[in-house]
Structure 1
Amino acid sequence: MKGISSKEIIAWIDRYLADPRLDSETQLRKRWAWIWMVVTCVFVIISSFVELVVLKLWPIWWFAIVFWAGYSIGFPLYRRMKRFDLVINILFSIYIVAALFAMLQSGGITTSLGFIFIGMNCAMGSMLAGNLRWTIGMFVTYCITIIILGLFQSSLTTPAYITPRVNTISFVGLSVWINACILLIVILFMKDKSRYEKSEAEKLRKIDEAKTKLFTNVSHEFRTPLTVIQGIVDQMEQHPEKWMLSGPEKIKAQSQLLLHLVNQMLNIAKIEADEMHLELIHGDICRFIRYVAATFQSLAENVRVELILNQQENPIYTDYDPDKLMHVISNLLSNAIKFTPPGGIVSLDVSRTFEKNKESVLISVRDTGRGIPEASVSRIFERFYQVPDKHDQTPGTGLGLAVTYELIKLMNGMISVESREGQGSEFTVLLPISKTTKKIADHDVSIISSETVHTEITKPKIDKKTDEPDNEQAEKPVLLIVEDNKDVVEYLQAILQKEYNLELAPNGKSGFEKALEIIPDIILSDVMMPLMDGFEMLEKLKADIRTDHIPVVILTARGDFDSKLAGLSIGADHYLVKPFNEKELRLKLGNLLQLRRKMQKHFGTLPFQSQDENTKFEPEGQFIKRINTLIEKEMGNEDFGINDICFSMNMSRAQLYRKFSAITNSSIGRYLRSFRLHKAKELLEKQDKNVTETAFETGFKNLSHFSTCFHEEFGFSPNKLLR
């Protein structure tokens, strides 16, 4: 039978002593102090047997009774009471006093049978309970008992039953016991020190991770608006007549977004330095919240989310800081709208309530979005914390809710959240009503900060249609842009529409579906997008035979080395970091298309290629090899055609045409006929088949049609190969 390990014993002790009222650190102290009590109890059993049965020291039997009585009461109380430290310290105090009387009875320190060690052990054991005052008190009590013994030593007499032999045996036993206990304390101290060092190292590691994550996310938040600003400035220089009207508005909006991010960082710094102060006014808080909510109406409409405001008719007059309250309401509303899918509802409720006999303003922001995982609900107000990415969110700085929490705390309010994953979330804010500040009449504009806390998303105004002829438009390569930021999309359209037929997708899921539908020549994709991120889309594209040949350029604000390495390892052809250079983007796209043209020349001019020749164009070579194998297998079948190839390749006719054309710059029908004819030429050159046999064997049942096609392909009739 397998023995029980120390870990299993510790686990059992933790379950036995478990108390939900205690934190993990206190629970750990409770465990070690209990083990100390158990060790002491075991020793009492052994020493009582030796002293009463072996050494016949019956006059001090009362001391064993005191120990047993103490433990019989102490153990049950220790397990149940939250203040276990009081139980163990009171118990050990009794033992120290009892040890004093036992030593007085046995003739003092020199003939005390080693009972001096019992008091020392109790004082040391109190250290494990973690109460500094009690520990000091225990050691002081123990020292007082020693001083008392010293003062009375000269007047004490040694009983006859305390012989030198008995005294020596008891001293040896108790000294071994106290040293064993000291060793246990040393071991526990060293373990605690090691655990503390590991904890500190882990804490530093988490801080470093948080900083790295913060810098990464902040850089992402900054790079996207900088890309738009830089791109629009370039377009205003190149096409002033087209961009001079709309450009400044977009630059202003993106600049305000950058200002908001900077202010978030500054707010955290002010809170840490305790320099954030309230600037209160007295007024109708309902009217102010209604004003702030109205600024989000256009944002909600743009993403097809219904924003509902529910307020009582009567005004609620109270003291509040308009700038900080606007920050709180704006953060909660923007998050709710951001994480609510199209067709969802976000409601903002404001009412008067009484909590704990205090009149308060109750502000509730409720949405029908994706909700927050249960494991993350308790941590969402932590600084830098973000709900784990499930490829359906755009990461931020992890500061928004942390700043919101601190601002509400500064306003003497409270915030709580209830959420169910997949059903939505509700944030509830309670602010106390007070009326000590001077009343302010203006609640519309002057009290509201000029900072814009959200950016209205505008639809691209560039029309994809141009005055170019349809045939010229059709000759352009098809570029699929997968990007969720519409300002970035508008800029990309402006710089690329002359060279490419542009198709758009707002996220990775839509991008993958569109890529399957149209089989574009090239894809330009962001990484951080809702529903499906760019990396997941790239992975699916490269795993699908219909799209694995399409070159993909990643264009993202995630510029860290690990993200770049991840993108390239999945199969990205290039990785560009925002803000990017327009010329660099054009060159990279152009170079990829040039490589495509070399590949088309390779596969388009050589119908038969060895596997070695195709390895430099993977997976395109494998695709062509599969088609060649299918044609070889059905060479003599006149009815074998494009539909059969589509069925075997699990592709639609349009998908097959698009992919095959992208690889060979030729049609699949022409390739099929050319393949048969080259095979026929090979058979005729071997001179073991006549023209009729060769035609039938390569899928031509009409001899005249075979001769015509053969002449078109090679410039001479098949009979010329026969001698």
Structure 2
Amino acid sequence: MERPTESLLTRIDRYLADPRLEPEAQLRKRWAWIWMVVTFVFVVITSFVELVVLNLWPIWWFGVVFLAGYAIGFPLFRRLKRFDLVINIVFTVFTTAAMFAMLQVGGLTHSLGFVFIGMNCAMGSILAGNLRWTIGMFAWYCVTILVVGIFQPSLTTPDFVTQQANTISFVGLTFWINACILFIVILFMKDKSRYEKAEAEKLRKIDEAKTRLFTNVSHEFRTPLTVIQGMTEQMEKHPEQWRKTGPEKIKTQSQILLRLVNQMLNIAKIEANEMPLALIHGDINSFIRFLAESFHSLAESLHIDLIVNHEEKQAFTDYDPDKLMHVVSNLLSNALKFTPAGGRIYVNVDKSTDEDKEVVRIIIKDTGRGIPQESLEKIFDRFYQAPDKPDQTPGTGLGLALASELIKLMKGEIRVKSQEGQGAEFTVSLPLTNVANVSKDHGISAINQEAIDAGIPKTTFSSGNGGFFKRKDHLPLLLIVEDNNDVIEYLRAILEKHYRIELAPNGKVGLEKARNIIPDLILSDVMMPQMDGFEMLEQLKADIRTDHIPVVILTARGDFDSKLIGLEHGADHYLVKPFSEKELLLKLNNLLELRKKMQKQLGSIPFSRPGPNVQYRQETLFMKRLNSLIETELNNENFGINDICLSMNMSRAQLYRKFGALTDNSVGRYLRSCRLLHAKSLLEKHGRNVTEAAFESGFRNLSHFSTCFHEEFGFTPKDLIR
């Protein structure tokens, strides 16, 4: 339950709320207002006592000055942003009035306690938080005391200032000044405690931001390092094969790493005010059109329409082409990253008027997933990231923050509008100026194409890689679910000698392929578009057709929590990029060896009933269900593979792949073995003759039954009876 004081403070804050003030200033405004209210109440009470009880009517004007000051001060204090100016002017008037009152009543010795009023006003000015005014108030108070002291010898005490009145008034004002001092001390202690907590919270958030930054940077580094390390190893082993493509891939991934490092260095330069501007005067429309063309091929490969304003409207202004390139490249990369296939991205440049200033606007709008409302105000904060989704690669939290800082350097502004699920719209506004030197090519020659390429997401998936790389039917079938072509090529290089390889660009396609082809193993990334690796893994383990398939998670997320999530979803192994080739091959091979042990355990004896501690729980459940179905239909000669498929809700190919993976046997042979084992049991233990045993086991052709029986056990049914 909320305390009354908290409720009162909440109402006071609502009454004094001013969106122009920072939280710290708003807090000072609250305490200063409380001080003024308390002082006002005391003045009303004191005026009543002095005028009615002590008969001090000659100084009635002092109470009027106080009431008039507050009548003017309270409304201005609430409405004006400079509330500190209001309170200090009012207190200056009160201190001056107190000086004249002391001169009227006979000086310091018979001041009726007015000597404390100026001191109280000077201390009250502390709450406004303006050091200069506070020093000025204390100085003016000292001046008033000095003036009264100078005139003291020439002053006389009037008759209405009796000893009793002077004592009572002096004691009352003494209590008042002590209460005010206590109030100041309490506020100071509260502010000190709040400041210490705020500093501790600030340090905690900084540490969290640093930890998050280092974690995210390590995530961003892992995939490029995987390709660089892998390509280096492959070039050492097979120099001829990788002579051309190897160095190119290493260079591309190195550019990605360099871009990440440069982002952090640029942030540091901006903080140190060491980021120079290299402004040129050119047509910003031509510059943006040229820059956007670099992203067309990627947009086409992702089946996204990139629509650029092709109108020949010139928009000449001053801008830094290198910094503008980084900003626009970042915004386009993000748009491509978060826009699904079939979506659109619009790039437009126009002139406009913003707050009576002519500006050039660069608008980049997409039809992607959008940004949550709670993240819009923080999206340009350093290290901030919108709530992470499993199907997106976490960034460093520097891209948009750097873009915002670079635009500010060019005296511009960047804004965002978005609704979750309906895309986002970023607007960059630059002032329309003509100070820099004219550039004939509009700054296009200053564009660093390698820097642009490094900023383009390397998550394209070549449609030409969608089948088996090499057809070797005797090799195990491995499904690789990965959206980065360079990583795929490296994996193909180290695995194609040992496996038949099938590819999927994301979890959604991977799930469909796994259900259709029933691979022996799955090697999957986590952060992919449309469906992430964890969701795919969860659905694989919940499907009777695929719950037996060993899955190795391969990801840049190496933190402990991510590993736990993967293992909780049923991953058999968790490999963090960059990984060792030997480790990957060993883990895949160990999983296959475990499969062989499972096949021996599950497929050797029909109708086996493993105990509750069996290692292969899901596989055992499948075999129990199959065995129960076969046992029920043993005497049905028409019961066959099609009936099993219908009952299991599987296609014939899926059943064959699933059963073969579990038992290393064909389902038809297994069904026949079950029938023959049942027949053998009827002959041995239940005294049936050959005809009865054959019919009760689903055989109607006695000759065929005898032949199959001999093939299975090495002797005929008649031999068994004898």
TM-score under structure 2 normalisation? Answer: 0.86
Alignment of 1:498-577 (within 5 A): 498-577=497-576
Residues 1:185 and 1:642: Cα distance change in structure 2 (over 3 Å): farther
1:459 is matched with which residue: 462, 465, 471? 462
Q: What is the rounded CA distance, in whole Å, between the counterparts of 1:697 and 1:78 in structure 2?
A: 103
Q: Do the aligned partners of residues 110 and 674 (structure 1) sit closer, same or farther apart at CA in structure 2, a change above 3 Å counting?
A: farther
Cα deviation code 1:39-81 (max 9, x no counterpart): 3334345445555555555555544444444434433333333
Q: In structure 1, what is the equivalent of residue 274 of structure 2?
A: 275
The one-letter code matched in structure 2 to 1:218 is: V
Structure 2 equivalent of residue 393 of structure 1: 392
State the Cα distance separating 1:488 from its structure 2 match: 0.9
Matches of 1:182 and 1:694 in 2, distance apart?
109
The 5 Å alignment of 1:666-685 reads: 666-668=665-667, 671=670
The corresponding residue for 1:245 is 244
Kindly state the Cα deviation for residue 482 of structure 1 after the two structures are TM-superposed: 1.4
Give the residue type in structure 2 aligned to 1:459: S
**Residue 466 to residue 379, structure 1, CA distance change in 2 (3 Å):** closer
Distance 2:671 2:534 in 1: 36
Letter in 2 for 1:481: I
Q: Deviations over 1:395-446 (max 9, x none)?
A: 2222222333333333333333333332333333333455555555456975
Q: Which residue of 2 aligns with 1:76?
A: 75
The amino acid of 1:194's aligned partner reads S
> 2:141 matched to which residue of 1?
142
Q: Which runs of 5+ in 1 are unaligned?
A: none
AA aligned opposite 1:331? N
The yes-or-no answer on 1:289 pairing with 2:292 is no
Closer/same/farther in 2, CA of residues 168 and 263 from structure 1, 3 Å limit:
same
* Residues 1:242 and 1:685: Cα distance change in structure 2 (over 3 Å): same
Give the C-alpha shift of residue 159 in structure 1.
5.3
2:479 and 2:361 map into 1 onto residues whose CA distance is: 47
Q: Distance in 2 between matches of 1:295 and 1:23?
A: 43
Residues 304 and 22 from structure 1, CA distance in 2 versus in 1: closer, same or farther, beyond 3 angstroms?
same
Tell me how far apart the structure 2 counterparts of residues 35 and 297 of structure 1 sit (CA, whole Å): 62
8 Å Cα contact 2:280-2:443 kept in structure 1: no
The 3 A distance-change label for structure 1 pair 118 and 442 is closer
1:614–1:622 Cα contact (<8 Å) kept: no
Conserved in 2, the CA contact under 8 Å of 1:291 and 1:444? no
Which TM-score applies when normalising by structure 1? 0.86
* Deviation by residue 1:675-722 (Cα, 9 ceiling, x = unmatched): 6766776787766x7569996998759695888776665556778888
2:379 corresponds to which residue?
380
Matches within 5 A, 1:413-452: 413-435=412-434, 437-441=436-440, 446-449=445-448, 451-452=450-451
CA contact (8 A) 2:521 2:549 kept: yes
What are the Cα deviations for residues 179-210 of structure 1, in whole angstroms up to 9, with x where unaligned?
Answer: 33322222222222222222222222222222
The SS at the match of 1:243 is coil
Aligned to 1:615: 614
Instruction: Kindly provide the CA deviation profile for residues 559-618 of structure 1, in whole angstroms up to 9, marking residues without a partner as x.
Output: 334433443344332222222221221111111111121122122224455564643334
One-letter amino acid of the counterpart of residue 121, structure 2: C
Q: CA deviation at 1:372?
A: 2.4
Match of 1:332 in 2: 331
- CA shift for structure 1 position 385: 2.3
Q: Which residue of 2 aligns with 1:174?
A: 173
Q: Which moved further from structure 2: 632-641 or 278-287?
A: 632-641
Change (3 A) 1:292 1:33: same
Other-structure match for 1:483 = 482
CA shift in 2, pair 1:459/1:14, >3 Å: same
Change (3 A) 1:353 1:111: closer
* Matched residue, 1:24: 23
Contact 2:321 2:443 in 1 (8 A): no
Decide whether the 8 Å contact of 1:692 with 1:703 is kept in 2.
no
The equivalent of 2:13 in structure 1 is 14
Alignment of 1:398-417 (within 5 A): 398-417=397-416
Does the CA-based 8 Å contact 1:260-1:453 persist in structure 2? Answer: no
- 1:245/1:180 Cα in 2 relative to 1: closer, same or farther (>3 Å)? same
1:247-271 Cα distance to aligned partner (Å, 9 max, x none): 3333333333333333323322332
Within 1, Cα distance between the matches of 2:581 and 2:282?
51
Specify the alignment match of 2:94 in structure 1.
95
User: Residue 350 of structure 1 aligns with which residue?
Assistant: 349
Sort the Cα spacing of 1:97 and 1:224 in 2 relative to 1 into closer, same or farther, 3 A: same
Q: SS at 2:309's partner residue? A: strand
Letter in 2 for 1:205: R
Cα distance in 1 for partners of 2:348, 2:405 equals 22
Equivalent AA in structure 1 for residue 128 of structure 2: A
Question: Please, which moves more after superposition, 636-645 or 453-462?
Answer: 636-645
Distance between the aligned counterparts of 1:223 and 1:65, measured in 2? Answer: 75
Q: Could you tell me how far apart the structure 2 residues matched to 1:82 and 1:709 are?
A: 99
How far did 1:29 drift?
Answer: 1.5
Aligned residues, how many? Answer: 717
Alignment check: 8 A CA contact 2:54 2:165 kept: yes
The one-letter amino acid paired with 1:81 is L
Percent of pairs with identical residues: 67
- Greater mean alpha carbon deviation, residues 221-230 or residues 458-467: 458-467
Cα-Cα RMSD: 3.9
C-alpha distance in 2, partners of 1:435/1:444? 15
Residues 327-364 of structure 1 show CA distances to partners (whole Å, capped at 9, x for unaligned) of 33322332222322222222332345566676654433
Summarize the alignment of residues 55-204 of structure 1 with structure 2, pairs less than 5 Å apart.
60-158=59-157, 164=163, 166-204=165-203
For the Cα contact (< 8 Å) 1:518–1:658, is it kept in 2?
A: yes
* Residues 358, 432 of structure 1: 8 Å contact kept: yes
Distance 1:715 1:568, change over 3 A: same
Name 1:206's counterpart in structure 2: 205
From the superposition, tell whether residues 4 and 367 of structure 1 become closer, same or farther in structure 2 (CA, over 3 Å): closer
Kept in 1, the 8 Å contact 2:470–2:500? The answer is no
What residue is the counterpart of 1:226 in the other structure? Answer: 225
Conservation of the 8 A alpha-carbon contact between 2:470 and 2:501: no
**Contact preservation (8 Å) 1:549, 1:619:** yes
SS in 1 for 2:452: coil
Amino acid at match of 1:313: E
Pick closer, same or farther for the CA change 1:697–1:93 going to 2, 3 Å.
Answer: farther
1:260 and 2:263 matched:
no
Is the Cα contact below 8 Å between 2:525 and 2:553 reproduced in 1?
yes
Letter matched to residue 348 of structure 1: V
Q: 1:440 & 1:694 partners in 2: Cα distance?
A: 100
Partner of 1:595: 594
* Alpha-carbon offset, residue 485 of structure 1: 0.6
Aligned-partner Cα distance in 1 for 2:706–2:51: 121
1:139-170 superposed Cα distances (whole Å, 9 cap, x missing partner): 22322233333334444455556555554444
1:510 maps to amino acid: V
Name stretches of at least 5 consecutive residues in structure 2 with no aligned partner: none
Letter in 2 for 1:247: G
Is the CA contact 2:231–2:246 (under 8 Å) kept in the aligned structure 1? yes
How far apart, CA to CA, are the structure 1 residues paired with 2:595 and 2:105? Answer: 102
Tell me the CA shift for residue 10 of structure 1.
Answer: 1.9
Distance change (3 Å), C-alpha of 1:71 and 1:606: farther
> What is the rounded CA distance, in whole Å, between the counterparts of 1:549 and 1:171 in structure 2?
92
